Structure 1
């Protein structure tokens, strides 16, 4: 067996593949229909929409294949992505690249293979639309053109899939800072409320002195402050923590999971980082933070935000540039 060589542009190719956010997703009718149509029109037992990942090929759709993925070294499609034209193997038993391939000598007993590379608009091949059979055969020119046309349909469907993801991401992103927006935060909180309960921690941030920056220097300067705060938060909280700008100069950090003491410490760390970052720029801006943990499941989203907001205002009233922490438990019956 001769595993396919790694393309020279492999790093960029994998980045393109992952930009579609398609790997390991659930079955989708549109892709399944294309695979079934390819097998039916070309009269083969097997067909697949195959995506070639770093060390495997994964089937987004398949007909007649007993597995969800195979090692990349076994993939015919790993050879297909090396070229710009279809790869046709009339008899794998007679092809030294594949004659001892486990997919040939074992299940599913591939003898014939034809694959068309799925090429993204930037020129990187993601995988292939392929048809295979356990009998040797060839394709006519018309059959090959049919496979090429169906591969174009796969790419169109992938582009639509990526566009829908991008639209959803835009709808959940604050345009000024690039952080999650209020809608994204509420969605994350709803997911936490619906799932198995673990204590929920949250930091509610409100900038001190921001209005004065806007009044003295204009909204453009205010926007610079907000973007800088977003950068500081991104560098301060954990990679699994959700950080959102929920409006104006208010931000929320939703840690993945913290105990109460760690939450208070994170709040102080964020407060100090914002104060230092603003001072470096000469901006008289600090942050007041309400740090709250819900030990028991709160009744709704409103209860979460109201309780966190109340703690933040206590920090304001206590002199600003500080953290006030609180622990919420369900009232005793």
Structure 2
């Protein structure tokens, strides 16, 4: 079906265009399923990433088939639209409030075609008309198998015009190709996440931690920010398994993982390394106070459940970059065992430098 209205704009930015201050234009209303729509959109993990060759190729085909100079693969986020593919416009995103695509997604399954945006009272004040000379717009919503409109494949011209039926049908086929490509990306993302997730606790696993640690070291070696590593081994965990069974032991591990996740910031990574060993990779944070808080939180959570479990913790602040992942893990592992031998339920911390400083208990 074709939904024809006089007006509808795109989004753009190479950097975003400089819109005149105080411009007045009513934004599109929100879809009734907006909250669900945004959750699904972000599950594809494609926002805030660069344009990709596959989507750029689709945009090029859209230009050829529509005979329009501009084509965009646009994903409509909460307050912006991001371009995953583009042809004829060197921009990455625009505010949602000036987006024609934000109107197009209100009608999944319909092509929104605007022969002349300057004739539509809703869009005639749109700053994109002056910024890029936008006059014509046609957008096909990108609708996934769940019926969620993620954005559009749209074409734009700087003169008033229309698309014929053949051109509209071609855009529909290309929009389907975009959705198929996005679905493949989401499936790959899920597989990758599963491979890097501990199945019992739901936090990162050892390979994920090693990958993140490798990146942190490489970044610091290029004069990047410092990082810290906190290494935990549970005290009394074997006794829980012996007395209460492995089901209770598994619940202990899940609760420890949840505690570590609560202690970690968005930029940190909590991981289960195996058995009852855990680690937290801290970005740009001193390990000593963080490790102390983590130990205390683990102890408090275990007491709350009546489990006699604590944590021995080794913590290293890497002011200088270690040579590799093995050196970083060895430094934290050595301190963790030192905490075990010193009486358990404590933190040993040091700063990693060319000449290591003395250990101190926390």
TM-score bracket for the superposition, by shorter chain length: over 0.9
Q: What is the CA-CA distance between 1:81 and the residue it aligns to?
A: 0.7
Moved over 6 A (4+): none
Deviations 1:191-244 (A, max 9, x none): 111112444321110011111222222222211110011112222343432111
- Of 328, 345, 359, 1:321 maps to 345
Aligned-residue CA RMSD (Å): 1.8
* Contact in 1 for aligned 2:59/2:85 (Cα 8 Å): yes
Map 1:72-87 onto structure 2 (within 5 A): 72-84=96-108, 85-87=110-112
Q: Is the 8 A contact 1:66 1:108 kept in 2?
A: no
Name 1:288's counterpart in structure 2.
312
Do residues 218 (structure 1) and 218 (structure 2) align? no
Distance (Å, rounded) in 1 between the aligned partners of 2:132 and 2:225: 45
Provide the residue aligned with 1:162 in structure 2.
186
2:128 pairs with 1:96 = no
Superposition deviation, residue 34 in structure 1: 0.6
SS in structure 2 of the partner of residue 163 of structure 1: helix
2:71–2:156 contact (8 Å) kept in structure 1? yes
Q: TM-score, normalised on structure 1?
A: 0.92
| Structure 2 residue 142 is matched with structure 1 residue 118 | yes
Contact 1:57/1:72 (8 A) holds in 2: yes
- SS of the aligned residue for 1:22 comes to coil
Aligned to 2:230: 203
**Alignment CA distance shift 1:122-1:283 (3 Å):** same
Deviations 1:44-102 (A, max 9, x none): 11111111222222221111124322222222111101112111112223333333322
Aligned counterparts of 2:284 and 2:157: Cα–Cα separation in 1: 50
* 2:7 paired residue number: none
Distance 1:34 1:111 in 2: 22
Q: Say yes or no: does 1:143 pair with 2:167.
A: yes
The Cα of 1:2 is off from its aligned counterpart by 4.3
Q: CA deviation at 1:251?
A: 0.4
Q: Quick one: which of 232, 245, 251 aligns to 2:259?
A: 232
CA–CA separation in structure 2 for the residues paired with 1:13 and 1:315: 48
Partners of 2:126 and 2:156 in 1: how far apart?
14
Total equivalences in the alignment: 328
Alignment partner for residue 277 of structure 2, among 250, 254, 266? Answer: 250
Call closer, same or farther: CA 1:5–1:312 in 2, change over 3 Å. same
SS in 1 for 2:283: coil
Q: Is the 8 A contact 1:298 1:330 kept in 2?
A: no
* Residues 1:102 and 1:190: Cα distance change in structure 2 (over 3 Å): same
Deviations 1:284-332 (A, max 9, x none): 2111111222332212211111121111111111221111222332149
Q: 2:197 aligns with which of 173, 177, 199?
A: 173
List alignment gaps of at least 5 residues for structure 2: 1-24, 357-362
d(CA) in 2 for partners of 1:277 and 1:132?
58
Equivalents in 2 of 1:154, 1:236: separation in Å?
39
